[in-house]
A and B are shown apart, each in its own frame.
Chain A
């Protein structure tokens, strides 16, 4: 960097993404607290370790191949041509190709004096990956093996969510071109896919012992420590500020980017490189939080667990279009999404005997799907990209946002890349006898040996006089 203004813009962008990473770290702190608060005493430490160990597992595999998948798969491959390479094959070159940017042995994937962005951009996406795996973690507590969860965390955190991000959360993604898919703050690409993935696992894993009566009526296994759950969810809200900011590009001159001669228009953009403002999305974020909290309180009759979860579900439901919505639209969409997610949670629980310990499938999956569908109607006709405007199914240019495209997009996110892989992988792990902990261990408690040893240590220390 030899020009002062270029240097300032670059370092600002570097610091911007770095700050989002720091903020998003709080999402994981929140998930750990939330999950431990929701689990029972005899499972606490294993529950915490299960969620903590996804950090190294997803980080390493994200370095090896997750980031590469994001840059390689926007075309499908084989579904719609890239605007960079004009081919439907894997995007490996052409300026933003996977082998140029994200190969684990590449020059940019390390300290590089000529690049200030790749590391922080990689890290911002990595924090999304942790969130993806962490969403699944809560649903399966107290009965999954740490080994099985590790494999599933790698699958959702470094493979399936990154494929859906390449398809529907990338300026060159085929879902934008063919379907007019729009999901600015990841209602689908993070939340719906992870909710679906968790549901697929739960269908194979089965409920916790005692969750259902012999006649199939569900019993409530409430959070053991509601205060920890409360702080955890507040931390997740806090981390979501970073999540929203990380979904934006902070400064971009769209004039030359869109090929408009003589036009200069500096703005923040979303991940699709269409304009929005950090200021505007801040309003929408807060109004969708408010809508979710109000609806959660109302529909659960003041239950704290569901009120807090409602705040999160509200943000998730409005996220797909929060780059363009009016704040009141965000509020109402959040309220609708939260109400539907809550109702669906109990309907699915009773009908299919699904034990989602923290309501993750509802808060992330159902709210995400509802948000995508509503976005298709409210933003009907908006361009899904600034690069060109076309029609559905063609694929060589970009279809406008529309309800059918968003419904198909929601099915792809929740079902094709979420539920199906989760179910198949869980079936394989179940077949190997590695998915679920032994019944005797579940009854005794995963922490039994640790607690027994702590008791022995305590007695020894208490009876010691030197």
Chain B
């Protein structure tokens, strides 16, 4: 798992390897995981937003009704 296990050995090599993060070489898989995470987030939040707004729209509140909900804490 660890790319570097001894800093002295690593830095005294004739050519110091720059990439020191874990699992060097697996970048493509991490990027793919990031893309999937982003797409899932977009779909999920878009559905949630549409659902919430549909519910609120059905109640047909007036444009000043929010004033009775102003909390003063």
Contacts and interface: CB of A to CB of B under 8 A. Distances in A.
B28 to A, nearest CB: 5
A146 B45 contact: yes
Chain B interface main SS type: helix
A4 interface: no
Contacts of B61: 440, 443-445, 448
Contact of B57 (A110, A114, A441): A441
Contacts of B45: 146-147
A427 interface: no
Given A104-B27, A444-B61, 10 more contacts: A41-B70, A64-B35, A105-B28, A147-B50, A440-B61, A441-B53, A444-B60, A455-B68, A458-B71, A458-B72
A260 to B, nearest CB: 32
A282 B56 CA distance: 50
B19 A107 contact: yes
Interface in A449-466: 449, 451-452, 454-455, 457-458
A5 interface: no
Contact of B46 (A111, A434, A445, A457): A434
The 8 closest A-B pairs by CB, nearest first: A114-B18, A444-B61, A112-B18, A451-B69, A440-B57, A105-B27, A147-B46, A438-B57
Size range of the chain A interface in the assembly: 35 or more
Interface residues of B, number: 37
Contacts, number: 102
Interface in B16-60: 16-21, 27-28, 31, 34-35, 38, 42, 45-46, 49-50, 52-60
A448 B63 CA distance: 10
A454 B57 contact: no
Given A438-B57, A458-B73, A443 B63 contact: yes
A443 B65 CA distance: 9
Given A105-B31, A147-B46, A447 B66 contact: yes
A257 interface: no
B31 to A, nearest CB: 5
Contacts of B20: 111-113
A303 interface: no
A145 interface: yes
A63 B66 CA distance: 40
A104 B18 contact: no
Contacts of A146: 45, 49
A225 to B, nearest CB: 15
B53 A438 contact: yes
Interface string A130-153: 000000000000000111001000
A76 to B, nearest CB: 27
A42 interface: yes
Contact of B66 (A42, A64, A440): A42
